[in-house]
Amino acid sequence: MVKLADEVQAQQKKATRAAYGATLAELAGEGVPVVAVDADLTGSTTTKKLADAGYADRLFNCGIAEQNMIDVAAGLAITGHVAYTGSFAVFGTGRVYDQIRNTVCYSNLDVKIAPTHAGISVGPDGGSHQMLEDISLMRGLPNMRVLVPADYASARAALRLAATTPGPVYVRMGRASVPCVYADDVDLEIGRAYVLREGADATIVACGVEVEQALKAADMLAAEGISVEVIDAFSVKPLDEDTIVASVAKTGCVVVAEEHSVLGGLGSAVAETLARKHPARAEFVGMRDTFGKSGEFEELLDYFNMGAAAIVEAVKTVMAAKLL
């Protein structure tokens, strides 16, 4: 069983991006040949912590030149380094898609695409900076793995996994501070999903910040006598199809929740899997083919119907459809 946060830890809030520079510094101290290549956002992405820890020669700031950032990382990977790139997700995946596709993935280079400020957690920066299509972009690329951590501890685990996994890895991190889900020393795997709560009436598959919302929804539903199974699809690609199919076979229906467009992300990955292996009723909680807007993270979760209450309603809807 995966190690979850205790009651005291669960009250603590940290941003997933806060794990970035600190974890790179840990890896450097352990002798891993990590380098960070950033695009003039070393403070916001926290890659500056690598330099602050005494590894200034491992941090390369390319300025506001994101395409060049990817190419520099590719060059460093060719020379034997494990190269991480840092920027806001809207720039670190969207603006550089051609370089990621044709330079990194085509040659299967040891470059880790690890932007921060993904999703609506960017908050007041508004729709132009709230990247909600990145999982779709990255999971469609050959050779790319996609990890979406739920909290600080799983972000640290994802960054460490990326260092020991040859080839391209995408690690999605956010700006907002979120509650702890996992124990500090949690050990996760690429290609695994984790059952955080067992249930019989419906399955909730979530990733990223939606994992904590799914657990809240499970508590709310339990108060009404509804038992749901909550799965963290930490590894969106490769997806742990066996765990998800086994759960849906037991419950008969599924809700997928993600802080991302409902088009092309985790919901699509789960639907594709169930269509092949175990067709079932499904509902999807996420952005409904629209851009975000300026606001505080918690406000936006409710505004765009991505909070725990929306998951509760989706579970009730899919359970009713299951009975038809």
pTM of the model: 0.96
Query: Considering just the CA atoms, what is the radius of gyration of the chain in Å?
Result: 19
Indicate whether 5 belongs to any domain: no
Q: Do the Cβ atoms of 118 and 134 come closer than 8 Å?
A: yes
Provide, rounded to the nearest whole percent, the portion of the chain with pLDDT above 70: 100
Residue 324 has pLDDT above 90, yes or no: no
Which among 133, 151, 179 is the end of a domain? 179
**CATH code where residue 201 lies:** 3.40.50.920
Residue 118 near residue 172, CB atoms below 8 Å: yes
- Would you call 189 a catalytic residue per the annotation? no
Query: Residue 173 is part of which domain span?
Result: 10-179
| Boundary of a domain, candidates 144, 179, 214 | 179
Residues 119 and 243 reside in one and the same domain = no
- How many domains are contained in the chain? 2
Please check whether residues 198 and 171 belong to one and the same domain: no
**pLDDT of res. 100:** 98
The answer to whether residues 20 and 168 belong to one domain is: yes
The closest alpha carbon to 166, from 107, 94, 91, 232, belongs to 107
Cis (ω within 30 of 0) for the bond into 279? no
User: pLDDT at residue 8 above 90?
Assistant: no
Of the residues 7, 26, 30, 66, only one is catalytic, namely 66
User: Is the sign of the CA dihedral 106, 235, 307, 301 positive or negative?
Assistant: negative
Report yes or no on 187 lying in a domain: no
CATH of residue 70's domain is 3.40.50.970
Please check whether residues 98 and 245 belong to one and the same domain: no
- Asked if residue 184 is part of any domain, the answer here is no
* 56-77 per-position pLDDT tens digit: 999 999 999 999 999 999 999 9
